Amino acid sequence: MNMTPTQAVALAKELLPLVKTDVADVVFCVPAIDILPVVEAVKGSNVAVGAENLYFEDKGAFTGEISGPMLVDAGVKYVIIGHSERREYFAETNESVNKKVLKAFEHGLVPIVCCGETLVQREQGITIDWIRQQVKVAFLGVTPKQASTAVIAYEPIWAIGTGKVATTEQAQEVCGAIRSLVKELYGAGVSEAIRIQYGGSVSAGNAAELFAQPDIDGGLVGGASLKVDFGKIVNYG
């Protein structure tokens, strides 16, 4: 929950020349009120626009929610689903995440499906089991063709906005486990096609090492995306 529409447009215009690349997909996921002006601001560039949430119904008496058709009509291509903050503060569950994932696919949106464990869960040694459960439920009813276009973002909750970063080995271990699960569910072709990201205090200083791992295809960047350093992360190579 950062940036007014005016501020978001100014930041987008400042970042556009810094995130030019033909080797990576760049998406600005902005607050709902910023979507329309940012879509206009990035028109004609290599940047797509994403939303930070959607509801699992198309319309109705759900005051304050935003639907898939609204996002599509506004020019959105991607949508973040199941971020840990949505789960913690707004009572989202694996089941509601699944409903939103299915709704995103129904309307041709690419879901960026978030998963991650708390520090207690990591210390108890249940990280992989926890992540597998989150992903398996999120993808219930998703077809292989749909899954191959999805993005899964692994964000250890204890590393989001704290300055703490999972070690490269920890990040790769979990992202590798996610890819193995996708292979179990859908086969090798889908597991190779799906994009798996790491998120959690990604910065210009650690991006290159993280993204060099075999099962980390990019990053879901939080605080660092609000600074010009985001250009260095996008062009880490």
CATH number of 107's domain: 3.20.20.70
Q: What sign has the CA pseudo-torsion 72, 82, 115, 136?
A: negative
Which domain, by its residues, includes 62?
Answer: 5-234
Instruction: With H, G, I as helix, E, B as strand and everything else as coil, classify residue 151.
Output: strand
CA angle 207, 77, 162 (to 5 degrees): 35
The answer to whether the beta carbons of residues 2 and 31 sit under 8 Å apart is yes
- Name the H helices within the chain: 5-15, 35-41, 68-74, 84-89, 94-106, 119-123, 127-138, 144-147, 168-186, 188-193, 207-211, 230-234
- 78-95 confidence digits (pLDDT tens): 999 999 999 999 999 999
What local confidence, expressed as pLDDT, does residue 213 receive? Answer: 97
Distance CA 115, CA 160 (A): 12
Q: Which of 158, 177, 113 is nearest to 139 (CA)?
A: 113
Sign of CA dihedral 205, 211, 216, 217: positive
Which pLDDT score, from 0 to 100, does residue 159 have?
85
Q: Tell me which of 83, 85, 88, 123 is the catalytic residue.
A: 83
pLDDT tens-digit map of 48-76: 999 999 999 999 999 999 999 999 999 99
Tens-digit pLDDT profile for residues 117-166: 998 999 999 999 999 999 999 999 999 999 999 999 999 998 877 777 78
Is the model's pLDDT at 237 over the cut of 60? Answer: no
Distance of CA 110 to the CA centre of its chain: 10
The average pLDDT across 87-107 equals 98
Q: Is 155 a catalytic residue?
A: yes
Residues contacting 162, CB < 8 A, separation 6+: 201
The total number of structural domains that make up the chain: 1
DSSP state string for 29-55: EE-GGGHHHHHHHTTTSSEEEEES---
Angle at 207 between CA 162 and CA 83, to 5 degrees: 50
Q: How many CB atoms lie within 10 A of CB 185?
A: 16
Q: Summarize pLDDT for 24-53 with one digit per residue, the tens.
A: 999 999 999 999 999 999 999 999 999 999
Active-site residue (options: 155, 169, 173, 192) = 155
Nearest to 15 by CA among 42, 43, 53, 54: 42
